[in-house]
Homo-oligomer: A and B are copies of this chain.
Amino acid sequence: MTARRAGLREQKKQATREALRTAALRLALERGPDNVRVDDIAEAAGVSPRTYNNYFPSREHAIVAAVTGEREARIAAAVADRPDGVGLADAVVEAIVDQYTAPDEPARDALLLITTRPTLRDAYVEAASAIEHPLTDAIAERLGDTDPHTARVLATSVAAAVRLALQQWLHATAASATAGGLVVPSGSLPDLLRATLAPLAPALDAAEQRARRHPHR
């Protein structure tokens, strides 16, 4: 009767996960991303190298996870929190923009690190896929659970659009990096996100109208 049902185990797992990604980012910042082996990360976190891959499927994932954190959960919550008066499209777009503008999000030097290495950039972009499932639930909630399939399609498409926006954003900043000057990667990501998600708004609106016309219960 100590902790919650099956709780202490999970707690420890989250602890090592946290230790791993923190160590990964710290080492990458200290030595540069190419001079940190997965063995180093494992050692710094006090686990075996093999265990590392029980937590992260690749070397890059840990570093990226240190930056992205629990963003997917926060986005889902943010969508759910918008008042019902707000249209679905606006709710989704603004929730996403908010989370990508969150105070701790930048972590300037970490993002700068990521932009330098192509494999890290890819992993960072790919990490946005994690919003798919939480977002599916959030959208399904808003649509009244009438059609889970539609919710999945929309969430998938939104996630894809977000990845596209991130890709273009990083590509732009990388290009301007070679052009000289310090590259604080703030070419207005919010604007880019909004512009990229805009074409999907009609699809979100249409789904919302349909749901309104066929209320579920």
Report A's interface with B, CB cutoff 8 A: 148-150, 152-154, 156-157, 159-161, 163-164, 183-184, 195-203, 205-207
28 of the cross-chain contacts (CB-CB < 8 Å) are A149-B183, A149-B184, A149-B195, A152-B164, A153-B161, A153-B164, A153-B196, A153-B198, A154-B199, A156-B160, A156-B161, A156-B163, A156-B164, A157-B157, A157-B161, A157-B199, A157-B200, A159-B160, A199-B203, A199-B206, A200-B203, A201-B203, A201-B206, A202-B202, A202-B203, A202-B205, A202-B206, A203-B203
- In the complex, the count of this chain's copies comes to 2
Which B residues touch A203, using CB under 8 A?
199-203
Which B residues touch A199, using CB under 8 A?
150, 153-154, 157, 203, 206-207
Which B residues touch A195, using CB under 8 A?
149
Which B residues touch A183, using CB under 8 A?
148-149
